Amino acid sequence: NTVMAAQMTDAHRRFLQVLMSNGITEGSEARKLHQRCCETDKVYYAHDKLDDFISTINSHLQPLFMQIRKGISEDDGRAHYAVVNLAETEVTKMASDYTEIELELFRKTMDLIILSENGFASSTDILNLADQLKTKKMKKKEAEQVLKVFVEDKWLSEKNGEYTLHTRCIIEMEQYILSNYQDVARKCNICHSLAIQSQVCESCGIGMHLPCVRKYFRAQTEPRCPKCNEFWSCDIP
């Protein structure tokens, strides 16, 4: 490549540091952080150049097998940024933070979520798995604690006793999930990224993120599947 990568400045390094310590950063926060870093370190700042700013950092992260990735929250469709380690899959990354039995509970929870219709698993179903773990059985109380930690660490998120994968988890694990759940992992028919919480066409089986469903059908007089043109029978969020 003849084009020299743009220089990393202190502003870039500061931005990366904060992103790494946050685990995941919402888009508007990332934009504020971009401005703050540039102003603090007296580096040229252009409000519409966040993507260029990030790709400069990414070109320097490449030899380290790391990358800042952008992903979309399945709840509200907002952009988020996370630093992803490309050299290791999610499971090896988590292995340094959790015990083998905790990881087994996580993988089983992930199975439930990905194999479910709507991308959620109830705490009841997850806790029922706790005493069937191969590593060793886990008491329900213990399992509840572990789930809480997974939520705090932004691998899972929880709403009214229903668990789904956190945006951070989806950004970091997209490749892992697509290769390990080939038959069931769906890509959103609209934005083509992995869809965990989704609506599925009853006729042809394509899936769409809820925010994508909302956006797509806003322009349609009656909701028809973008692929097979059959009537979309799910409730539009």
Convert the pLDDT of each residue in 106-143 to its tens digit. Answer: 999 999 999 988 899 999 999 998 888 887 888 999 99
Question: What are the residue ranges of helices labelled H in 77-222?
Answer: 90-95, 100-115, 123-130, 140-152, 167-180, 210-218
Q: What pLDDT digit, counting tens, does each position of 168-194 carry? A: 999 988 888 988 898 888 889 998 889
pTM: 0.79
CATH class entry, domain 185-236: alpha beta
φ, ψ dihedrals at 165, nearest 5°: -80, 135
State the Cα–Cα distance between residues 204 and 208, nearest whole angstrom. 12
Q: Where do the domains of the chain lie?
A: 10-85, 91-174, 185-236
- Three-state SS sequence of 35-48: HHHHHHCCCCCCCC
| CA atoms in the 13 A half-sphere facing the CB of 58 | 15
Question: Is the domain defined by 91-174 classed in CATH 3.40.50.1260?
Answer: no
Architecture per CATH, domain 10-85, reads as: Alpha-Beta Complex (3.90)
Strand partners, 70: 81
State the Cα–Cα distance between residues 149 and 155, nearest whole angstrom. 9
Is 91-174 the same fold as 10-85?
A: no
Q: What pLDDT digit, counting tens, does each position of 47-84 carry? A: 899 999 999 999 999 888 889 999 989 888 899 999 98
Cβ neighbours of 208 (radius 10 Å): 27
